[in-house]
Chain A
Amino acid sequence: MPKDHGIGASSKRREDVRFLTGQGRYTDDINLQGQAYVHFLRSDVAHGMLKSVDTSAAAAMPGVVRIFTGADFEGVGGVPCGWQVTDKHGEPMQEPAHPVLAQGKVRYVGDAIAAVVAETKEQARNAAEAIELDIEELPAVVDMKAAVQEGATKVHDDLTSNLCYDWGFVEENKPAVDAAFEAATHVTTLELVNNRLSPNPMEPRVAVGDYNPGTDDSTLYTTSQNPHVIRLLMGAFVLGIPEHKLRVVAPDVGGGFGSKIFHYVEEAFCTFAAKACRRPVKWTSSRSEAFVTDAHGRDHVTKIELALDADNNFTGIRTDTYANMGAYLSTFAPSVPTWLHGTLMAGNYKTPNIYVNVKAVFTNTVPVDAYRGAGRPEATFQLERVIDKAARELGVDPIELRRQNFITEFPYATPVAVEYDTGDYEGTMTKLLEMIDRDGFEARREESARNGKLRGLGVNCYIEACGIAPSALVGQLGARAGLYESATVRVNATGGLVVMTGSHSHGQGHETSFAQVVADMIGIPEDQVEIVHGDTANTPMGMGTYGSRSIAVGGSAMVRATEKIIAKAKKIAAHLMEAAEGDVELKDGAFSVAGTDKSVAWGDVTLAAYVPHNYPLEEIEPGLEETAFYDPNNFTYPAGAYACEVEVDPDTGKVDICSFAAADDFGNVINPMIVEGQVHGGLAQGIGQALLENVSYDENGQLLSASYMDYTMPRADDVPNFQVDHSSQTPCTHNPLGVKGCGEAGAIGSPPSVVNAVVDALQRAGHTNVTHIDMPLTPTRVWAAMQG
């Protein structure tokens, strides 16, 4: 019997009412008295010397308040990078400066050169067009491998080369890994591209800066997944504003998928300009601007090798990856191809020897950073593709080959520095096979063949590291931040309560699911619990929402704070009932004394806390408000098995997804409806990567896919109904809710099964030379593969 409230119930989302009636309050819905508008003049060349920026004619245009250029930001800090990777020689990565507005050079199409502040949007845009630029164009650095050749044009003249770092992981393991390959019976090698993507949350980024000269307080309203992080980075590293004079508000945010984690120059600009102009300053990105300014994702070129012994046991994995950083280091960019990628190369399998090499490269393209999954999709894709290829080369069943190599005992320490606390990969695979009717595949294939279509089945597993992350660990790995989470639980006198969380909800439904947890713990209705997030002025310092961390880390902080509340409330209740504290129980919103008929209601206790007439003041303070900061001691490890069936049109190469099934293990689940929705969305993004989406640059660094006319977003008729299941549950062993996180699984787990399915379809149709096709599997690419 499904629960109808509390933990485990599919409670309907309370936030939906405002979103469904047009009453959401997104950043662009905020209009401040007297606000001016910003238009950025951006580089239309990928690489060039900025010889002059003449604003004189533009400054005289109607409505112009002020025009800013790089010169206005001399002496102002640049946008910082939040993660320092150490290379395989023990040296720090190369870290270029990233000015708010370009100084001396432009480095990608979209690089901000000047900003016009004007009375209206149109006046700002018109004036920007009147700015005269003299740019001496330089050769564009686009191809990663060419970028690190001797003598290549440098993106940053003050760096020694375009190589950000050359990372080896684990470097000391390399001789043993090489020895495993020497001893292998079979080695399967695969070279592949993990295609560059644009995250594309439907809400474009917006920033509104405000300044109060009377108090010297600055406020930034911004489309962010982590307002406290923005406040810290922008205040401390860019503008020199102490946190107590800077407030950052991220109200309703229309999707993020990673792209709204990072501190962007437009945020710093609007905050700076509001103070300089003494009036609110607003910037709203167009979609065209979003394509050339929102951090992109993925963009790896990889060679992976898998070694097997005579019994088909995996004995070694060796990878060599080029990872695109773009023109500057976005906030967490260096961590994505390293600690979020190399650490997951064991996947679900007990491979004893693993070595990962990653060369991160600067190019004249938009900065690349975390996008849904961030490093883990890249790890999963190469591993699950090479296993499929190995199975084919060895003539064994790809599912059985996986099963044979599954990790079955936990905790399991991988050779790539993480310890899986729990899991059941056989369990999710068994569940998946129940879902997909594999035995019926041959009949479905024959039916497709009768209709002139080639049918294929692809299966893969995935694991991810979520609940990011233990601060001490990430500190050793180069993070310049802690990654705890926070919650303050404020109980009101009449018993309702407010949870102020450092997590941020931008589609995940925290206002509903977080309330379910607290209501369940106390035994009160969910509508007695309000969740507040997104404003540094009324939430404790928290690190925000990304990496499927919110319920695992933010939820745990909330549990800890609520436990403190309950402990104090029990003391008060004990006093009211004249009982020993140890005898007091809280159940269904009432305190009672075991073995007696003594009872006080939750509301009686909360009222006593704030009206302490009969109260143990000598022992405890009045009031009922507690804060907790939770720092996990490990990542969480959601895992699962996915399957996809496709039909390929042999005449055109078009791929249709016939069915997609996902069997996930997320540990305990708070709200199954929300969890399933998260998986659906991730699957669509993963299928989008596999079949449709691609950020494409030409050799001059011009972005060819800069609108929805050219960048193929998945639409409703591109994706099927999904079969999803999360009944395989191995609860996380180290957080109080036993949760693992579910936000990224779909995007991580789905691309390999799509590609595996297409290769399977082609192989079954006799195209035995087709062992791989690079994503996206457009009709052109699939058709070409069939010709070859």
Chain B
Amino acid sequence: MTQVTMTVNGKSVSGDVEGRTLLSDFLRDGLRMTGTHVGCDTSQCGACVVHVNGEAVKSCTALALDLEGADVRTIEGMANADGSLGTIQQAFQDYHGLQCGFCTPGMVMSAAALLKDNPTPTEQEVREYLEGNICRCTGYHNIVKAIMAASGQDVAAVAAE
């Protein structure tokens, strides 16, 4: 076991990990931050997406030990300072972009990364960007709508129900 220290949602955290400990396991089991979900074992589903140094990363593909000193942001760190829902989170609620909620943390984190790089994506760009995030409940319709609404676009025109 080796100690690793990183910043998670603005707080410095440390813990003992094995060489094989994944970031997703470190967050869930080590820090008991269970907002990040694990939905597969082949890095396909995207439920575990977090931001590492500002980039969207599937936390099941990152080794905790590699992230000494890294700045990690998870779904638990996405609300506004006053505790209210952030813009993307609020859009997901407003446009019913979630049902069971299991893929949602990864969806929100991916959406945030998309909008950082591409502030006003087209519908097709959103759909293509979400290639790495699987949702079984929503049929994606309202997720796409929520992300476009979060970017400030008029979604009535692009995604008539």
Give the B-binding residues of A (Cβ under 8 A): 12-13, 15-26, 28-29, 31, 122, 200-204, 252-255, 257, 286-288, 506-509, 673-674, 676-678, 680-685, 707-709, 713-717, 719, 721-724, 746
The chain A residue with its CB closest to the CB of B159 is A721
Whole-angstrom distance between the alpha carbons of A763 and B15 in the complex? 64
Binding site for A on B (CB under 8 A): 18, 20, 28, 32-42, 44-45, 47, 74-76, 78-79, 85, 89, 92-94, 96, 98-105, 108, 123-124, 126-128, 130-131, 133-144, 158-161
Can you name 24 A-B residue pairings with CB atoms under 8 Å?
A: A15-B101, A19-B100, A20-B104, A22-B78, A26-B37, A28-B34, A29-B28, A122-B18, A253-B100, A254-B101, A288-B41, A507-B101, A673-B96, A680-B138, A681-B99, A684-B140, A707-B40, A709-B42, A713-B134, A715-B130, A716-B126, A716-B135, A717-B130, A721-B141
Considering the chains assembled together, what is the distance between the CA atoms of A252 and B99 in angstroms?
11
| Contacting pair B34 A203 (CB below 8 A) | no
Asked if A201 and B100 sit within 8 Å, CB to CB, the answer is yes
With a cutoff of 8 Å between Cβ atoms, the chain A residues found around residue B103 in the complex are 202, 254
Nearest 6 A/B pairs, CB to CB: A22-B35, A19-B101, A254-B102, A507-B100, A684-B139, A708-B44
Select which of B32, B34, B100, B134 is within 8 A of A254 by beta carbon: B100
B143 touches A716 (CB 8 A): yes
In the bound complex, what is the Cα–Cα distance between A536 and B93 (angstroms)?
A: 29
> Which of A202, A713, A716 touches B100 (beta carbons < 8 Å)?
A202
CB distance from B144 to the nearest CB of A (A): 7
Residues on B with beta carbons closer than 8 Å to the beta carbon of A201: 100, 102, 136
Asked if residues A508 and B136 are in contact (CB atoms below 8 Å), the reply is: no
A259 to chain B, nearest CB (A): 10
Chain B residues contacting A13 (CB-CB under 8 Å) are 93, 96, 98
For A707, the chain B residues whose CB sits under 8 A away are 40-42, 44
The answer to whether A202 touches B45 (Cβ under 8 A) is: yes
Specify the chain B residue showing the minimal Cβ separation from A674. Answer: B96
Min CB–CB distance A17 → chain B (angstroms): 7
Pairwise interchain contact A713-B136, C-beta atoms closer than 8 A: yes
Q: How far is the CA of A200 from the CA of B42 in the complex (A)?
A: 14
When the two chains form their complex, are residues B144 and A721 in contact, meaning their CB atoms are under 8 A apart?
yes
Q: Is the CB–CB distance between B35 and A21 below 8 Å?
A: yes
A15 to B161, CA, bound (A): 23
A26 touches B139 (CB 8 A): no
| Residue of B47, B134, B139 with most partner-chain A CB within 10 A | B139
* Contact count A vs B, C-beta below 8 Å: 190
A724-B161 Cα distance, complex, nearest whole Å = 6
On chain A, the residues within 8 Å of B74 by CB distance are 22
Which residues of chain B come closer than 8 Å to A746, judged between CB atoms? Answer: 139
A693 vs chain B, min Cβ distance (A): 11
Q: Are B34 and A204 in contact (CB under 8 A)?
A: no
Q: In whole angstroms, how far apart are the Cα atoms of A359 and B133 in the complex? A: 39
Q: Which residues of A contact B32 (CB under 8 A)?
A: 31
- With a CB–CB cut-off of 8 A, which chain A residues contact B135? 202, 716
Q: Which residue of B lies closest to A24 (CB)?
A: B101
Inter-subunit contact A21/B75 (CB<8 Å)? yes
A38 to chain B, nearest CB (A): 15
Q: Which single residue of chain B is at the shortest CB-CB distance from A678?
A: B99
Contact yes or no, B45 A708, CB < 8 A: yes
Residues of A within 8 A of B94 (CB): 12
Most B-side CB within 10 Å, residue of A20, A122, A685, A715: A20
Using CB atoms, name the residue of chain A closest to B143: A716
The interface residues of chain B lying within 8 Å CB-to-CB of A254 are 37, 39, 100-103
Chain A residues within an 8 Å CB radius of B137:
202, 255, 507, 677, 681
Q: How far is the CA of A312 from the CA of B78 in the complex (A)?
A: 61
Q: How far is the CB of B89 from chain A (nearest CB, A)?
A: 4
Known: A21-B75, A719-B140. 8 other contacts (CB 8 A): A16-B93, A20-B108, A203-B39, A676-B161, A680-B140, A684-B138, A715-B134, A721-B158
A252 to B100 alpha-carbon distance, docked (Å):
8
> Nearest Cβ distance between residue A169 and chain B, in whole angstroms?
32
Complex interface: chain A residues within 8 A of B102 (CB): 24, 26, 201-203, 254-255
A13 to B146, CA, bound (A): 14
With contacts A685-B136, A716-B130 taken as known, whether A23 is within 8 angstroms of B100 at the C-beta atoms is no
Given A21-B79, A22-B105, A255-B96 contact (CB < 8 Å) = no
- Residues of chain A within 8 A (CB-CB) of B79 are 21
Contacts of A16 in B (CB 8 A): 92-93, 98, 101
Q: Chain A residues with Cβ under 8 A from B123's Cβ?
A: 721
The answer to whether A715 touches B144, judged by C-beta atoms less than 8 angstroms apart, is no
Chain A residues in 8 Å Cβ range of B33:
22
A711 nearest in chain B by CB position: B44
- A257 touching B85 by the CB < 8 A rule? no
Q: Are A677 and B127 in contact (CB under 8 A)?
A: no
CB-nearest residue of chain A to B27: A22
- Nearest-neighbour CB distance to chain A for B58, whole angstroms, equals 12
Q: What residues on B are CB-neighbors of A724 within 8 Å? A: 161
- Of A19, A509, A684, A716, the most chain B CB neighbours within 10 A belong to A716
Contacts of B47 in A (CB 8 A): 202
B98:A19 contact, CB within 8 angstroms: yes
A20, A29, A678: the one within 8 Å of B92 (CB): A20
B100 lies within 8 A of A203 (CB) = yes
Known contacts A20-B89, A21-B85; is-contact A680 B141 (Cβ 8 Å): yes
Asked whether A677 lies within 8 Å of B138 as measured between CB atoms, the reply is yes
Query: Which A residue sits closest to B106, measured CB to CB?
Result: A202
Distance between A5 CB and nearest chain B CB, rounded to angstroms = 16
Given A203-B102, A708-B44, A722-B139, are A287 and B96 also a contact pair (CB < 8 Å)?
no
Distance of B128 from chain A, by nearest CB (Å): 5
In the complex, what residues of B have CB within 8 A of residue A709's CB? 42, 44
A715 touches B96 (CB 8 A): no
**Cα of A678 to Cα of B98 in the assembled complex, Å:** 11
The reply to whether B138 and A717 contact each other, CB–CB distance below 8 Å, is no
Kindly state the separation between the CA atoms of A15 and B98 in the bound complex, as whole angstroms.
10
A509 — nearest CB in chain B belongs to which residue?
B99
Contact of B133 among A29, A31, A716 (CB under 8 A): A716
A25 to B102, CA, bound (A): 10
B130-A20 in contact (CB<8A): no
Chain B nearest CB, measured from A751 CB (Å): 14
Nearest opposing residue in chain B for A18, CB measure: B101
A723 touches B161 (CB 8 A): yes
Contacts of A29 in B (CB 8 A): 28, 34
Q: When the two chains form their complex, are residues B161 and A26 in contact, meaning their CB atoms are under 8 A apart?
A: no
Give Cα A17–Cα B92 distance, bound, in whole angstroms: 10
CB-nearest residue of chain A relative to B42? Answer: A707
Q: Which of B34, B35, B139 contacts A719 (CB 8 A)?
A: B139
Which of A15, A28, A678, A708 contacts B42, CB < 8 Å?
Answer: A708
A287 touches B39 (CB 8 A): yes
B16 → chain A, closest Cβ, in Å? Answer: 13
Bound form: Cα–Cα A21–B33 in Å: 11
Known contacts: A22-B76, A708-B45, A721-B159. The answer to whether A507 contacts B143 by CB under 8 A is no
Given A202-B39, A724-B161, answer yes or no on A20-B98 (Cβ-Cβ < 8 Å): yes
**Closest residue of chain A to B128, judged by CB?**
A717
Nearest-CB distance from A559 to chain B (Å)?
A: 24
Q: Which residues of B contact A24 (CB under 8 A)?
A: 35, 101-102
Residues of A within 8 A of B140 (CB): 680, 684, 714-716, 719
Query: A682 to B45, alpha carbons, bound, how many Å?
Result: 19
A713–B161 CA distance with the chains assembled, in angstroms: 23
- CB neighbours (8 Å) of B93 from chain A are 12-13, 16-17, 20
* Residue of A13, A18, A25, A717 most packed against chain B (CB within 10 A): A717
Chain A residues with CB below 8 A from B127, complex form: 716-717
Residues from chain B with a CB closer than 8 A to the CB of A673 are 96
Considering the chains assembled together, what is the distance between the CA atoms of A714 and B101 in angstroms? 18
Chain A minimum-CB-distance residue to B40: A287
